[in-house]
Amino acid sequence: MSVQPRAGTSVSPRTRKRPDELRSHQWYGTDGLRSFSHRARTRQLGYLPEEHLGKPVIAILNTWSDINPCHVHLRDRAQAVKRGVWQAGGFPLEFPVSTLSETFQKPTPMLYRNLLAMETEELLRSYPVDGAVLLGGCDKSTPALLMGAASADLPAVFVPAGPMLPGHWRDEVLGSGTDMWKYWDDRRAGLIGDCEISELERGLARSPGHCMTMGTASTLTAAAEALGVTVPGASSIPAVDSGHDRMAAASGLRVVELVWQDLRLSELLTREAYEDAVATVLALGGSTNAVIHLIAMAGRSGVRLTLDDFDRIARTVPVLADLRPGGRYLMEDFHFAGGLPGLLSRLTDVLHLDRPTVAHPTLREQLDGALVHNPEVIRDRDRPLAEEGGVAVLRGNLCPDGAVIKHLAAEPRLLRHTGPAVVFDDYRTMQATIDDPGLGITEDSVLVLRNAGPLGGPGMPEYGMLPIPDHLLKQGVRDMVRISDARMSGTSYGACVLHIAPESYVGGPLALVRDGDPITLDVAARALRLEVDDAELERRRARWTAPPPRFERGYGALYQEQMTQADTGCDFRFLARPGAVPEPYAG
């Protein structure tokens, strides 16, 4: 259930701004030619002076698009945000920004996350904007919007797109992504046919909204709520629920007050907030993609978050949300079980409760009165889904800078495993040959995919859930150890080791693996080892040659030049580094 902020209350006792102290005053309020022009052009837009002069100007950054099913309803939600802004005495202006569609954008929207972050920052910096409402939700849009807004450092509220309705097929409830993988494997194994697949295709995605499992979208919007940049309860409201419209209006109402209070993102996005977001992701059994995104987001906030922080916090936080792909339920169940306020109310001993949020002076006050209504969906602390957080950080000679595994979603028998490598140099080759019996793949093999990382992918596509050969599927095998420098969808599952750093494309140890090399995965020991002696690895390294650049021009060339590795968040170097940016002169 959504906990709405108290309208009109301040987050803390602060000196309120005067109208002439608003940032937008530089554009509209001075006695000069430029201000005269700005006022005249605003009249050209059809607005009366009394509609905007002396009022907070609120940018509504909207990632709506006709080809983004996760965001196709955000055009309507922007209207609700405007309603809230008008009611609070602000002046809303809607800005269309890049849409990152996990469904359709190739090779991956991860290639363009930093582009949206840069667009967000520069729009907020260059226009007469006092605050912002950020509309997003599909995987990369949440971190991109918050990264850019953090760099611009204005008062801001994030409006999550919300999960779609549960899918249905015959008498089964479907989870987007998760059941797609499951039933596609059943089709490859000959267990279902074209008629069943056609029915599944019609029932898998029934409404606007992002994936309704605890995939990357739900993980990142929950992290945004945990960071304190949404109104309480916002992240789990189904996209088509009327409560979602009300939440959008409440966000517009709230951001105007934040502007008057001058409560900027830099005061909210602290180390304590990011540690609480990590704890939230782990307690949810959330997506491994959150590791990369939260590290990048923290970097924009001047906070150094590392893989070691994730592993440290994971050892202290149980998994309490019984959500797919690691559990049984879907996001609508989670919402009506109490949503994120309910979950966080069971984690108060590991959270930083005295930090502010956009809605309350402290997180402690925000969680006051939060309840859990279904202890099967949100477990009690003495009955967790797992004793430790669902993501583990691995180290070893195959991943000196780290790798991750969502061990909660893997078959337990594979969490300590040694097997011979079967190596694929690229994803297309793997697709074309994985079912070849001549490769000799058995259920004990370790499938290795390389050249799928940040630079090699390019963009680190979600290739990490490598398909199991069809002859093994027909034998009933549903999980194998799979290793790559790629990511995988948060809706995926299996013993998939991901984000190996440094990646093979830049000469990381993954580039040196050969067919038949023994590889050991030991999750309990947090280890991933290539069982080949150092002298042999050095001989192989001496013979390795760097591949040619992926891009010769355009945005891809900029990406190639500036991209960092997975363990540091895959941000652009020139955006991640500290440094002052001057305010534009508007006179």
Q: Which residues pair with 61 in a beta bridge?
A: 95, 134
Residues carrying CATH 3.40.50.2300, the chain = 55-165+207-367
Nearest to 215 by CA among 124, 286, 310, 137: 286
Phi and psi at residue 555, to the nearest 5°: -55, -35
Residues carrying CATH 3.50.30.80, the chain = 393-543
CATH number belonging to the domain at 55-165+207-367, selected among 3.50.50.60, 3.40.50.300, 3.40.50.2300, 3.30.1330.50: 3.40.50.2300
Q: Are 92 and 58 in contact (CB under 8 A)?
A: yes
Overall size of the chain counted in residues: 587
How far CA 173 is from CA of 168, 227, 333, in Å, comes to 5, 31, 12
Q: Are 461 and 102 in contact (CB under 8 A)?
A: no
Q: Are 280 and 223 in contact (CB under 8 A)?
A: yes
Phi and psi at residue 295, to the nearest 5°: -65, -45
Q: What stretches in the chain show pLDDT beneath 50?
A: 1-12
**What digits encode the pLDDT tens for the residues 162-182?**
999 999 999 999 999 999 999
**What digits encode the pLDDT tens for the residues 406-459?**
999 999 999 999 999 999 999 999 999 999 999 999 999 999 999 999 999 999
Show the DSSP H helices in 413-524 as ranges.
Answer: 427-433, 470-473
* Per-residue confidence (pLDDT) for residue 13, from 0 to 100: 66
Enumerate helices (H) and strands (E) in the chain, giving the number of each: 22, 14
Share of the chain above pLDDT 90, in %: 97
Phi and psi at residue 278, to the nearest 5°: -60, -45
SS3 sequence of 49-92: HHHHCCCCEEEEEECCCCCCCCCCCHHHHHHHHHHHHHHCCCEE
Q: Distance of alpha carbon 458 from its chain centroid, rounded? A: 19
- The yes/no answer on whether domain 393-543 falls in CATH 3.50.30.80 is yes
Q: Are 135 and 78 in contact (CB under 8 A)?
A: yes
How far CA 564 is from CA of 116, 331, 571, in Å, comes to 17, 33, 6
49: burial class by Cβ within 10 Å (0-12, 13-18, 19+)?
Answer: exposed
